[in-house]
Amino acid sequence: MRLDVLKALNAARRARRAGVMVTRFSDGDQRFVEASAIAADPLADALETALRMGKSGSVQVDGADYFLTVQAPPPRLTLIGAVHISQALAPMARIAGLDPTIIDPRTAFATPERFPDTPVIAEWPEEALAAAPLDRYTAVCLLTHDPKIDDPALIAALKSDCFYIGALGSKKTHAKRIERMRAQGFDEQALARIHAPIGLDIGAVSPAEIAVSVIGEIVAALRKKPRRSETAAP
């Protein structure tokens, strides 16, 4: 591996930036393509597919064979609210390959005893997220029903390029949430990123069932290529 390619790969890894190492079989030529540069690459479609699925493998493009080595940071799940749904979501997230963290300033709820295997940050979201900024490999779930806690996290999420934003609550609750975010200056395209009511529509009732629906929606957001109707500007 050339030194410049290795340096580029390591720099991306340290900064939690995704990319793909491209190796041409015919002559061993290599290059590292960061996710932000994939659209301009001759192998854009193959690189985008490999990165979205998180799988390395060989491809053939225009008669030439390549090996694509995916470099992607482990996806994180930031749960705003140390609530019953979070207690079910956190272990399911780990099984699904996500790295969960709980943020809740309410120290009566945000305790290691209630979340024995998950990092719990008993701080206000604006403080906790300032120390660990959201990135494109982070999913955010707003679960407290309390605008004082949820809204600062939502504002941070909408300002970031995190791949998923989900919010608990009824359609009426969400309508009020949208109005508050409009007052913060967010346009309709930004607000359309919010999945609310949170989770896939599977008729979930219990916290565990809701957690299943949320994990399914997060995985779909991470892996599924959006349909044209989902990416069209409103």
Give tens-digit pLDDT for 70-93. 998 989 999 999 999 999 999 999
- pLDDT given at position 21: 94
DSSP-derived letter for residue 227 is P
The residue with tokens 């494109």 is 136
DSSP bridge partners of 79:
102, 141
Task: Report how far apart, in Å, the C-alpha atoms of 112 and of each of 120, 193, 206, 207 are.
Answer: 7, 32, 23, 19
- pLDDT given at position 232: 46
- 3-state secondary structure (DSSP) of residue 139: strand
DSSP-derived letter for residue 232 is S
Which portions of the chain are predicted below pLDDT 70? 225-234
Integer Cα distance of 153 and 107 in angstroms: 18
* This prediction's pTM: 0.83
Between CA 77 and CA 140, with CA 132 as vertex, the angle to 5 degrees is 25
| CATH architecture group of domain 76-223 | 3-Layer(aba) Sandwich (3.40)
Task: Label residue 53 exposed, middle or buried (CB < 10 Å: 0-12, 13-18, 19+).
Answer: middle
- pLDDT given at position 1: 75
Per-domain boundaries in the chain: 3-71, 76-223
- pLDDT given at position 3: 85
- pLDDT given at position 5: 86
- Do residues 66 and 28 touch, judged by C-beta distance below 8 A? no
- pLDDT given at position 234: 42
- pLDDT given at position 224: 78
Contacts of 182 (CB under 8 A, 6+ apart): 191
Radius of gyration, CA atoms only, the chain: 20
* 30, 35, 38, 40 alpha-carbon torsion, rounded to 10°: -110
For residue 182, what is the enclosing H or E element? helix 171-183
Contacts of 108 (CB under 8 A, 6+ apart): none
User: Long-range contact list for 9-13, CB < 8 A, 24+ apart?
Assistant: 9/71, 12/71, 13/71, 13/73
The runs of H, that is alpha helices, within 24-170 are: 44-53, 84-95, 125-131, 147-159
